[in-house]
Structure 1
Amino acid sequence: MNRSEQDMVDKAKALLVQQHQAAQAEQRLGEVNKHLSQLENTQDAQAAVLDDLFEDMMRLMNGQSLSAEATTLAPLAVPMFDELEPIQVSGVSWDIYLNELDSYAARHDVTGLDDPFVHLLTTRQLHDLAMSFKEEFLLKEAECDRYDYMIASFSGLVAGVIDSFFVGSPTDSKFRSWSDEKVDNVVIKFANLVWKQDKKNGARLRKQPDSIASAIGFLERRFKVNYDARYASDLKMGATTLNMRPSDHHLKSLAHAPDIIGLFFSILDQFTGKASFISDGRLLRLEPKEDGTQVLQGGNVLAKLFAGFANWIGHLLSDVSGSSGVRGHDDGRRGAGIPLPFFELFQFADFGQVSHKGKTLSFADFSTKVFESGYDARHGVAMAVPVVFNELVIRLLWGLKSLFYHKNGWLESIPVGNKPTLRKMLLVGHGALCLTDGMDAYIRSGNVPILFATRLNYVAWSRFAFASMQELKHVLGKDVYDWKAVDAHLEQEWKKLSGEY
């Protein structure tokens, strides 16, 4: 439970306790009204007695005899009430107030604090909320017509043609120069940003990075890490074996992965002074011979975590375009970049048999050969072009069809959120793209595994796998909800409540 959700639950508990206090006060008010009614009746009876006594006094004064019946005054019963227990609100912090709420609930046996929302809402409100939630967030069955399928298939086919003729493999990609240039520009801009900030903070720096080689060199010096070993000889191996060279050390070093796995192992390696590698399907934790790591800055763990995260980002950008030594020459060499997100997981697949240049390799070793052929994050930028094109075209045409053909409103035609038809169209469109990509890779590879693998669009197949999982959850599950949309809705409502509060 995150902080926002916890705050919401705490406020619900406060409302539940206040509801209990209001019920206690209402009950006390009923008891007071009951005693007031009894006092009024007693007062009326005593008034009648006083009238009789006055008449007797008048008879005595006139020498007359008293009435036969003696009148007596009934005693007044004074009710006693237990004091209501208030909870101090003003002048205390929210945490102290919550502690007092818990103490009050324990003394008065207030139930329902484990799930306060159920006890705060009426049965009718709970029913209406459940129906509204189901209508808005339940993944509904897609009702695609033939035009929807035609749009998705045609878009996927066009994207597949773009992938086949312009993306291809890392060696013959028409987008290779473009994607390399875009990545280089990002590296240069980041290096200049860091250089200016360091210069502003008093660092003694000379020339500002003005080329990709100088930018990489600056970032390599600025974001040194302990896990950047290029050879097994750079590590204290002992009896452990690790077949690694400069062309594949970014793939075998888990901390060089641009995903959540890489971030985890980068932080772990920086804190422990060790380096994490994958060899023969096994995870190895080794100690470098020379520790070139800067001490993590910060006076507490949170600050050190942030410093480790910054080192990870900076070091990835120093490696994404190759090394400064390789990129400093005009021989066309690109150098070893960083792997695609989660591509490093293939290193655990130390099984299978794939033929490569007369040798039989495992899937892990074969994926290393694929990476060394230029199938890295830079090529991933090129592979993302037809995928993004396909995504945008399908979403745009779905929105236009919803607006002008189905006559829906502008808000209903925005191509985001829980739209079953759009979900199915994206599945079909990305499926058509992957089908075209697979056929092209098979035909052009000439039954050569390495050529087939390098022509496959990793980004397109990843997107298709995600769309398939979304559809599979709906098909297999009876009530499957779009929890991403639920989280976004709750976040929006929380901001409203926080602003009002």
Structure 2
Amino acid sequence: MPKHILSESEKDLLKVVKNENDYAQNTPSLEQTKKTIDTRIAESEELLRSIGHGDDLKRIEIESEPQTHDAHIVRSFDDLLKDANERNPEEVAFEDIFSNEELEANRKYIRQLNAEFNTVHDFDTVDVIIPVVAGILSGAIDCFFGGFVKTASGKSVPGTLSDYVGKLFDNALPAEKISELEKLAKVTYDAQDNRNTTIYVDTLSSYFHRFLQLGHDPILGFVFGVADMLRGTMTTIDYNGKFVVQFMENYSDRKASSLFEAIAKVFLHMLSDVNTPASLPVPFMALFNKLQIGSIGEEKLNIAELVKSMYGQGYDFRHFCAMSIPVMIIEVVVRVSYFVKRLAEGHSFSEAISVGLNHEKKPKLGTMLFIAHSASTAINTGKVIFTENPLDINYPQWIAFTRYSVKQLKWVLYNKPALRDKYVMDAINNEWSELSVSIDNLWDEYSNGTVVVCD
């Protein structure tokens, strides 16, 4: 735990406590005097019995004095503080009040509470095996069935997973369905080239226009595409990284009249494009045009050039969906295993359920997912290094790894220490509450039948 910095009021309280403690220790005890008096009384009674007056002792009645209401004067804290400042003008620390043994006992208790908190969040062998196995399984599927494979002619074509997902898209969106959607969902930002633009957009072409137009991004499209439909504009990041928003006069008849219409047409237009040869770009792909840095491979491509090349070779939204399958396998395996294990350990259904991710409520689940995605990402990294083919990068896996890494970093550096401190302070405050009740009971017993006067 970080060292607590005392406030001025806490410093004043420590000074008063030390002063009163010193006063109590220096005040002579009446215990010995009481013992001496009791001894003398016992000796006198014994003497009276020895001379034959034992029966007279039984008839002696001790007359009780009329009960009076004594007055107890309680000094104010300001008065106590003034007295403490006169006796101890210097600041007082905990070391001035407690002995070394007491301080060490306190430190031991704090360490014990920290250990109790850590035990709650400790991993057992099964907790480690589950994410490791899930990560290796996901990585193996990605290695053998994901990415791209090279034909006899040396051309890279999508692998098994992409073929499988492509067939699903073909069944869901056949050519005749695409034609119907194209007629229903014409949009303002769908310029095929620069013939209809007022501001030149580098590399705007029939094949690469979706790569440049933010309205075609599967996620950003619902922001920039919707805005373009409402304004009658087109938003692009061209091949040189230039961000351009321009009014599309020739497409003004496609402008949406309401927000709902804009969202609907953007969505339907994406459906009409997703199963065409160029498909849609992967999420956030256009943003890579801003990265005009790097020198990658034999051709010394910068990042923007490399990403454009990947899109041109088929690294599109359908491939993104295919590469998401190993990522989903991790989510399913880890979350189901976590749920079953928690139930087996005796937790309730609501405590064991693994839907959602809140590190504060389910820290083990978050860490297990981080371990699994880290393992799968490491395997994908090894694959890319071995094949020297950037098309083998599992983009969804890297997105998942980044997301869980940020959450894990926040948990380790901020949330977990804060929760541990809260756990310790709650335990201390509970004991303080019990002590406060004991003090109140002692005061009630002491002040019973007396008059309390506050000075």
Q: Same fold (TM over 0.5)?
A: yes
Classify 1:478/1:395 alpha carbon distance in 2 versus 1 (closer, same or farther; 3 Å): closer
Query: Which of 221, 226, 229 is the equivalent residue of 2:183?
Result: 221
1:409 maps to amino acid: S
SS in 2 for 1:361: coil
Partner of 2:87: none
Classify 1:395/1:373 alpha carbon distance in 2 versus 1 (closer, same or farther; 3 Å): same
Q: Conserved in 2, the CA contact under 8 Å of 1:224 and 1:292?
A: no
Partner of 1:433: 376
Q: Conserved in 1, the CA contact under 8 Å of 2:231 and 2:255?
A: no
Classify 1:172/1:377 alpha carbon distance in 2 versus 1 (closer, same or farther; 3 Å): closer
SS in 1 for 2:228: helix
Partner of 1:272: 231
SS in 2 for 1:284: strand
1:231 maps to amino acid: D
- 1:271-319 CA distances to partner (integer Å, 9 max, x unpaired)? 222211112112012344631743424xxxxxx0010000100111111
Classify 1:455/1:293 alpha carbon distance in 2 versus 1 (closer, same or farther; 3 Å): farther
What is the CA-CA distance between 1:465 and the residue it aligns to? 1.0
Partner of 1:467: 404
Partner of 2:245: 285
1:235 and 2:197 aligned: yes
SS in 1 for 2:319: helix
1:296 and 2:256 aligned: yes
What is the CA-CA distance between 1:246 and the residue it aligns to? 2.1
Q: Conserved in 1, the CA contact under 8 Å of 2:237 and 2:287?
A: no
What is the CA-CA distance between 1:481 and the residue it aligns to? 9.4
- 1:436-488 CA distances to partner (integer Å, 9 max, x unpaired)? 1111121123xxxxx2x210111111111111111111122157999xxxxxx
How many angstroms apart in 1 are the aligned matches of 2:201 and 2:328? 42
Partner of 1:101: none
Any residues of structure 2 matched to 1:78-227 within 5 Å, and which?
142-169=121-148, 171-186=157-172, 188=173, 212-227=174-189
Partner of 1:413: 352
What is the CA-CA distance between 1:215 and the residue it aligns to? 1.4
Any residues of structure 2 matched to 1:449-488 within 5 Å, and which?
451=389, 453-478=390-415
Which residues of structure 2 form unaligned runs of 5+? 1-116, 149-155, 420-455
Q: Conserved in 2, the CA contact under 8 Å of 1:225 and 1:293?
A: no
How many angstroms apart in 1 are the aligned matches of 2:225 and 2:253? 12
Q: Conserved in 2, the CA contact under 8 Å of 1:143 and 1:420?
A: no
How many angstroms apart in 1 are the aligned matches of 2:349 and 2:416? 28
In the alignment of these two chains, the number of paired residues is 291
Q: Conserved in 1, the CA contact under 8 Å of 2:135 and 2:376?
A: yes
How many angstroms apart in 2 are the aligned matches of 1:267 and 1:386? 32
Partner of 2:217: 257
- The list of structure 1 runs, each at least 4 consecutive aligned residues, that deviate by more than 3 angstroms after superposition, is 138-142, 478-482
How many angstroms apart in 1 are the aligned matches of 2:118 and 2:193? 50
Query: Which of 430, 438, 442 is the equivalent residue of 2:385?
Result: 442
1:378 and 2:364 aligned: no
SS in 2 for 1:224: coil
Partner of 2:153: none
Q: Conserved in 2, the CA contact under 8 Å of 1:144 and 1:424?
A: no
Q: Conserved in 2, the CA contact under 8 Å of 1:155 and 1:394?
A: yes
1:243 maps to amino acid: T
- 1:401-430 CA distances to partner (integer Å, 9 max, x unpaired)? 2222x2323332222353111111110011
How many angstroms apart in 1 are the aligned matches of 2:118 and 2:314? 40
How many angstroms apart in 2 are the aligned matches of 1:388 and 1:258? 19
How many angstroms apart in 2 are the aligned matches of 1:231 and 1:140? 62
Percent of aligned pairs sharing the same letter: 28
How many angstroms apart in 2 are the aligned matches of 1:311 and 1:480? 48
Which residues of structure 1 form unaligned runs of 5+? 1-137, 189-211, 298-303, 323-334, 446-450, 483-501
Asked which structure has the greater CA Rg, the reply is 2
How many angstroms apart in 1 are the aligned matches of 2:310 and 2:127? 37
How many angstroms apart in 2 are the aligned matches of 1:476 and 1:380? 32
How many angstroms apart in 2 are the aligned matches of 1:140 and 1:376? 46
2:191 maps to amino acid: A
2:274 maps to amino acid: V
2:242 maps to amino acid: R
Partner of 2:109: none
Query: Which of 351, 354, 361 is the equivalent residue of 2:296?
Result: 354
What is the CA-CA distance between 1:391 and the residue it aligns to? 1.0
Query: Which of 224, 246, 270 is the equivalent residue of 2:206?
Result: 246
SS in 1 for 2:411: helix
Partner of 2:440: none
Q: Conserved in 2, the CA contact under 8 Å of 1:430 and 1:460?
A: yes
What is the CA-CA distance between 1:229 and the residue it aligns to? 1.1
